[in-house]
Structure 1
C-alpha cells in the first residue's frame, strides 16, 4: 500500500527545549545532538525535541547501533518543536523529520508532498496539565474559555490538539489564549508562575510536573484508550516523515531507515522502561533516572510495535484538523498520499 503527503510550515516562536542537548536546524546554526560515525550513506534527520519520550525511537535506534547495522550514517539534529523540524525538512536542510503525522495533511493543502514512512505511535502521547492554582477552575476543556493554555509553539501539534479539544467542548478558538512555552523547564516555570493556567506537554515534562506538584492531569492521551476518549479514535502522532520525491528517488536508503526503526520499536516492546532508560544519554534523565524510567513507562503504550499506520488513524487526524483548521476544513485531502506502509511491511518481512 502506497501513501504520501505534507503539513504546514507555520511560524514558530523561539523556544527552549527540555535539555541542553537541543541543537539547531543546521550545522552552521548549532551542533548536532548525535552525529553519525562517518561511515555509510549520510542521512540528516531533524527531531522535534530529541529528549522528548514521544520521539524516543530516534535516539534509541542510534544508541542500539541499528542505523550503523544498516550501513547508514545518521545524524540526528534537534529543534524544540515539531513544526520547526517540519520547516527544516521542507526547506531541504534535512532528509527526514521525526514529528507528528498531522503535519503531512496540512502541507498537502499547500501543494507540498510529504509522507510518513514509519509510524512510531497510535496515540498522541500528550497530556493536558492544569496548574495547581487553576485546578479548581478547570475541570474539563469546557472551562478553557478565558484561560491561557500552554503549547510548545504556534502551529505545533500541541496547538492543533488544544484547539480541537476546545472546539469539541464548545469553546471557540478565539475564546482562549495559546501561549508558546516550549517543554521542560520553560513549561514548568510558566505553570508555576501563572503565565499559563493549563498546557499540553509530554514526558518527561509530565513526570517532572507531577513530581513537583506543580500541576494535575486533566486529560491523558498517552494510551490508545486515552486517545479514543479524548479524540474519538486512534491518533497516529510521532513518525518519521519525508518528502515524497526524496522517498521515491532514494528507496534503498528509506528501506534501511525503516528496517532500523522497526527493529527499534520491536526492541522497545520487549524491554522494560528501566532497560530503555539505561540505553539513553545520561543527560536525558536530568539527574533522576527513576523518574525518567517512570516517564518512559507511562508513555510506552503510545508506541506501535511494527511502524504500521493504525487502521482509521488518518481519518481521526483529518477529523480533528477539520474541526478548526480552515485550510483543511475546506480542502479535499487525499489521505492515501500522507503515508506509506511499503517500507515497514518489507521491514517486518
Structure 2
C-alpha cells in the first residue's frame, strides 16, 4: 500500500485574519463605485517579508495616493490563506506568488497576475546547522521534516518540486506547517523541523546567527534556474479576472504605482530602501534588515512585466508534482493567468 503524503502542524494560525477582514465582505464591487477616491483592499501574504516589499514600500512612498487611490493593505502570513480571502470576495487583490493563479484555474477560478514583481522566488531552502552534514541537497529530503508556511502555499509547492526534481517522492518526507518569522525559527530551534523553505529577513537572521545553512538559494536567476530548470516568476499582484475587466482604470492606477516602486527599488541601495520602511520592520537589528533587503532586492523586475518563458516554466514545475496540475497541463489556459496590459501601456 502506498504511503500517503504527510503534512503536520507545529504552530496554529493566528486569529488576526478574522479581525482584519471585518467589514470587507462583498468588497469585489467596492472600487468601481462612481465618485470619490477608489478604495482597494489588498491582502499580502506576509507584509513584512522582503519578497513582498513593493506592497508596503509603495504605500510609504505615497505612490498609491499620487494615483488617487485609497489602498488598504492587510496581512496574512500564508499565501494559501490570502488566495482564499480573494476568492471569497473579501479583498480585491493579493500580493502573493503567481503559481496560485495556475492552481486556482484547475479549480475553476480565473485569477490573473496584473503586475509581476519578481521573476524568481526569493526563497531559500535551509537546514539546521546540526543537520548540514546530513542534508546537503533536496536529494537528502527522504525521511526529513521540512517547514513550509502552510499547506497549499508556494513554499509547499516549491518544497515538493525540489524533492521530485531530485528523485524524492513527496510521500517520503513530511511537510510541516511552520509559518514564517518567529514561528519558523522556533520550529527549527526546538527540532520540530530539520529545515525548510523561507525568505528574508528570516533567512538572514538564521544564517547570520549560525543556526542554519542555505542549501538551495532561489534569490538569484542562476540559483533558480539550477533548482527549477528556468525562471519561476513569483511575487505579484493578482486579482479576479472579472474584477479586473470591470475596473480597468483602477487596475491601471495600481499598476502605475507598483511599477514606480519597482523602479525605485532598482535605482536605490538597500540602505535607502530600508530607510523608507516602517522602523518596526527592522526590529531590533536595522543592519540585519538592510542585509536582508540587499540579499533579496535583485529578484524584482524593473517594469512589472511577466516573462512568458517564466510563466511556462511555472506550469512545467507544477505539472511535475501537483495533483491538480499533473496530467492536465494541456488544459491550462496560461494566457488567462497573467496580463501585461496594465504595465506595458496596452
TM-score by length of 1: 0.90
Corresponding residue for residue 334 of structure 1:
333
Give a deviation string over 1:192-247, Cα, whole Å, max 9, x none: 11110010000000000012211001010001111111011111000000000000
Say whether the 8 Å CA contact 1:145–1:175 is kept in structure 2: yes
| Distance (whole Å) between structure 2 residues aligned to residue 289 and residue 301 of structure 1 | 20
Per the TM alignment, residue 330 of structure 1 is displaced from its structure 2 partner at its CA by 2.4
TM alignment of 1:106-255, pairs within 5 A: 106-255=103-252
Q: Which runs of 5+ in 1 are unaligned?
A: 1-11, 30-38
Question: Aligned pairs, how many?
Answer: 324
Alignment match of 1:46 (pick from 36, 43, 47): 43
Give a deviation string over 1:12-32, Cα, whole Å, max 9, x none: 984369xxx988551369xxx
| Distance (whole Å) between structure 2 residues aligned to residue 222 and residue 16 of structure 1 | 28
Corresponding residue for residue 93 of structure 2:
96
Give a deviation string over 1:145-183, Cα, whole Å, max 9, x none: 000000000110000000010011111000000000011
Corresponding residue for residue 286 of structure 2:
289
Corresponding residue for residue 258 of structure 1:
255
Are 2:342 and 1:343 equivalent residues in the alignment? Answer: yes
Q: Which runs of 5+ in 2 are unaligned?
A: 1-8, 25-35
Could you say what secondary structure the match of 2:158 adopts?
Answer: helix
Per the TM alignment, residue 128 of structure 1 is displaced from its structure 2 partner at its CA by 0.3
Say whether the 8 Å CA contact 1:222–1:298 is kept in structure 2: yes
Could you say what secondary structure the match of 1:142 adopts?
Answer: helix
Per the TM alignment, residue 286 of structure 1 is displaced from its structure 2 partner at its CA by 1.1
Tell me which stretches of 4 or more aligned residues in structure 1 moved more than 3 Å: 12-17, 21-25
Per the TM alignment, residue 284 of structure 1 is displaced from its structure 2 partner at its CA by 0.6
Corresponding residue for residue 61 of structure 1:
58
Closer/same/farther in 2, CA of residues 25 and 225 from structure 1, 3 Å limit: farther
| Distance (whole Å) between structure 2 residues aligned to residue 319 and residue 221 of structure 1 | 17
| Distance (whole Å) between structure 2 residues aligned to residue 97 and residue 197 of structure 1 | 30
Could you say what secondary structure the match of 1:179 adopts?
Answer: strand
Say whether the 8 Å CA contact 1:22–1:50 is kept in structure 2: no
Could you say what secondary structure the match of 2:131 adopts?
Answer: coil
Q: Output the aligned Cα RMSD.
A: 1.8
| Distance (whole Å) between structure 2 residues aligned to residue 109 and residue 140 of structure 1 | 31
| Distance (whole Å) between structure 2 residues aligned to residue 157 and residue 148 of structure 1 | 17
| Distance (whole Å) between structure 1 residues aligned to residue 78 and residue 324 of structure 2 | 21
Alignment match of 2:22 (pick from 27, 37, 48): 27
| Distance (whole Å) between structure 1 residues aligned to residue 61 and residue 113 of structure 2 | 23
Could you say what secondary structure the match of 1:255 adopts?
Answer: helix
| Distance (whole Å) between structure 2 residues aligned to residue 209 and residue 339 of structure 1 | 34
| Distance (whole Å) between structure 2 residues aligned to residue 109 and residue 66 of structure 1 | 35
| Distance (whole Å) between structure 2 residues aligned to residue 15 and residue 282 of structure 1 | 25
| Distance (whole Å) between structure 2 residues aligned to residue 142 and residue 342 of structure 1 | 41
| Distance (whole Å) between structure 2 residues aligned to residue 50 and residue 311 of structure 1 | 27
| Distance (whole Å) between structure 2 residues aligned to residue 325 and residue 311 of structure 1 | 21
Could you say what secondary structure the match of 1:75 adopts?
Answer: strand
Are 2:322 and 1:311 equivalent residues in the alignment? Answer: no
Say whether the 8 Å CA contact 1:25–1:79 is kept in structure 2: no
